[in-house]
Structure 1
Amino acid sequence: MTTVAHTHDTTGSPFALSHLDSLESEAVHIFREVAGEFERPVILFSGGKDSIVMLHLALKAFAPAPVPFTLLHVDTGHNFPEVLEYRDRVVAAHGLRLRVASVQDYIDAGTLRERPDGTRNPLQTVPLTDAIREHRFDAVFGGGRRDEEKARAKERVFSLRDEFSQWDPRRQRPELWQLYNGRHAPGEHVRVFPLSNWTELDVWQYIQRERIELPEIYFAHEREVFLRHGMWLTAGDWGGPKESETPEKRLIRYRTVGDMSCTGAVDSDAATLDAVIAEIAASRLTERGATRADDKLSEAAMEDRKREGYF
């Protein structure tokens, strides 16, 4: 992950921070706060753009020393191959420690049952909470942003979870002047969101400025997809397409990356960072609202999952 020199804002002051510099500084501060306050932090890393930016910030926060945190990926078994390949390549390049919690292992053991619609995103909660409990992680970094979804907009940067990994909005703590309260009882842990105040556009502009490599799935490419519930899904052995659904090749890209069974593509010819940024700037739909079927199950779908332990 190569970096370039920071640019100053347009006020004319050589000491003024640009908007991206301010966001970066806040995130780096959060990483260092957690390193000094917790014993066993972990970074959720899926190979999606938000977790990629989060890892890039962690690398900056502790350079030239290595990142002092383990990475954790909850693998649904229906992830995009390009993203898994990217994940493994980045882990190897930076000598990072990666733990994988597999949804398929839980299905094979009979602990979880496959859903009729083939969607495995809701099944991630049990492997995630089990991994947190097993490895005694006391701080868990996630790439959630407040602009993504209504439930995520309620989160603080430090979000307390009880001994069952459940979230109670009433236990949210004030965070005045960037003072974060990581106090927790034995068995509890804190979810930490360094990108809380970022927008999707901020993420893409930062990726461009820092010259961060991404999986090619985020840029326009020709792919075989089929239409379901108004979204273009990738054909695969997870349960699609059905007999009534006809695959076709289209020029598409992905705004967000998750389980193949519920992550929709968007029609796009944006093959460069400039083109993607222009496309995002003109969009009136959030990335999850436009392309994530699991968030359309109900008005409170995300909040219900968060209360159970999901991110």
Structure 2
Amino acid sequence: MSVVYEQTHLDRLESESVQIFREVAATEERPGLLFSGGKDSVVMLHLARKAFWPAPVPFPVMHVDTGQNFDEVLAYRDRTVERYDLQLVVASVQDDIDAGRSHEEYAGAPRNRLQTATLLRGITEQRFGAVFGGARRDEEKARAKERVFSFRDEFGQWDPRNQRPELWSLYNGRHRRGENIRVFPLSNWTELDIWSYIEREGIELPSLYYARPRTVVERDGMLLEVNRFVEPRDGEVPFEAITRFRTVGDATCTGCVESGAATAAEVVAEVAAARITERGATRADDRISEAGMEDRKKEGYF
């Protein structure tokens, strides 16, 4: 009697991502994986570990540190690096500010946009030929234009009109010295897929992603958690609300949402009913036009 094994939707996504990791490891010189401690990079690392198990992950992970990260995320990053014996590279935005390569608009300003110069410096210093990123096509329109293998020139720039075909999932990662390939193993995943996979695999996340009482202020149409980076301004009245974060970034401009979802299963149900992307709802600096985000990507932003 023959047994037919039928893959689920998540199985197919997992298989595709694992194949991408193995393809890069076999064909590209000195790959690296961007790891922020956010849910997408956590899932990406989980898939990388599966791709090479029982061997360790064969490339370093790099965190582009804005200097304004949530404390829970940094603690999670360090626990994860120790648990899986990863090689961690930290590229610091503050180092670029101190060296005069980047400039803050004002003291305490959001630093998400300053990450580009730091990212490009980190890639150059580590001589990465390929860099894995956790971007997904469903996040916003500019990212939807990306291929899985995204070519970047010697200046780290991206040309959306000069993309390589990827028919039948055949990838072309050839490049000259100084150029690099940005690789997006989660391109075909959605936010709902990510959370469904987190639930299925029992993946640990920073506590920010789950609902609990937090002290917040309302600013720019968002709820910002009051912490060492965010203090109430004149006229703002802090209050307590049960919230969680849909995405994690610079603490000065990443908002939370009112929610009672305290487990992965509850988040899956909530995300399934959502009609606004996590970035559109909770990232102040991502509330820009499609052209504006595309310009940032052309400069080297992920």
State how far apart, in whole Å, the 2-side matches of 1:286 and 1:279 are: 12
Aligned-pair distance for 1:239? 5.6
Match of 2:121 in 1: 130
Separation of aligned partners in 1, 2:96 and 2:273: 41
Q: Does residue 1:268 correspond to 2:259, yes or no? A: yes
Residue equivalent to 2:143: 152
Report matched runs for 1:234-273 at 5 Å.
234-238=225-229, 240-273=231-264
Q: 1 CA distance for matches of 2:228 and 2:51?
A: 40
Q: Which residue of 1 aligns with 2:44?
A: 54
Structure 2 counterpart of 1:187, from 178, 183, 186: 178
Measure how far apart 1:97 and its partner are. Answer: 0.2
Q: TM-score, normalised by structure 2?
A: 0.96
Query: Which structure 1 residue ranges, 5 or more long, are not aligned?
Result: 1-12
Distance 1:239 1:224 in 2: 11
Cα-to-partner distance string for 1:7-34 (whole Å, 9 max, x where unaligned) = xxxxxx7322110000000000000000
Contact between 1:20 and 1:206, CA under 8 Å: does it hold in 2? yes
The answer to whether 1:71 aligns with 2:61 is: yes
Aligned AA for 2:191?
A: E
- Residue number among 282, 296, 302 corresponding to 2:287 in the alignment: 296
1:157 aligned partner, one-letter code: V
| Aligned counterpart, 1:28 | 18
Equivalent position of 2:76 in the other structure: 86
Distance 1:183 1:39 in 2: 10
Contact 1:118–1:239 (Cα < 8 Å) also in 2: no
Q: Is the aligned partner of 1:16 residue 2:9? A: no
Deviation digits for residues 110-151 of structure 1 (CA, Å, limit 9, x no counterpart):
322112371100000011001111111010000000001100
Aligned to 2:188: 197
Percent identity for Structure 1 against Structure 2: 65
Matching of residues 161-172 of structure 1 within 5 Å: 161-172=152-163
Q: What's the secondary structure of 1:113's corresponding residue?
A: coil
1:307 and 2:298 correspond: yes
Q: Which runs of 5+ in 2 are unaligned?
A: none
Q: Does 1:37 align with 2:27?
A: yes
Cα distance in structure 1, aligned partners of 2:33 and 2:154: 19
Letter in 2 for 1:84: L
**Bigger Cα displacement from structure 2, 38-47 vs 238-247:** 238-247
**Offset at residue 235 of structure 1 (A):** 2.4
2:96 maps to which of 102, 106, 111 = 106
Match of 1:278 in 2: 269
In 1: Cα distance, 2:82 partner to 2:45 partner: 13
The CA distance in 1 between the partners of 2:52 and 2:160, in whole Å, is 32
Deviation digits for residues 187-237 of structure 1, max 9, x if unmatched? 100000000000000000001111111111100011111111100112244
The farther-off stretch of 294-303 and 94-103 is 294-303
Residue matched to 1:208: 199
For residue 165 of structure 1, give the secondary structure of its aligned residue in structure 2: coil
- TM-score w.r.t. length of structure 1: 0.93
Preserved contact between residue 224 and residue 230 of structure 2 (Cα < 8 Å): no
Q: Work out whether residues 217 and 237 of structure 2, in 8 Å CA contact, stay in contact via their aligned partners in 1.
A: yes
Query: Which position in structure 2 is the counterpart of 1:228?
Result: 219
Instruction: Verify the 8 A CA contact 2:141 2:290 in the aligned structure 1.
Output: no
Return the alpha-carbon distance in structure 2 between the equivalents of residues 120 and 240 of structure 1.
17
Pairwise CA RMSD of aligned residues?
1.2
Equivalent AA in structure 2 for residue 39 of structure 1: E
1:244-295 per-position Cα deviation (integer Å, ceiling 9, x unaligned): 2222221100000000111110000111112111100000001111111111
Whether contact under 8 Å (1:295, 1:301) holds in the other structure is no
C-alpha contact 1:225 1:249 (8 A) present in aligned 2: yes
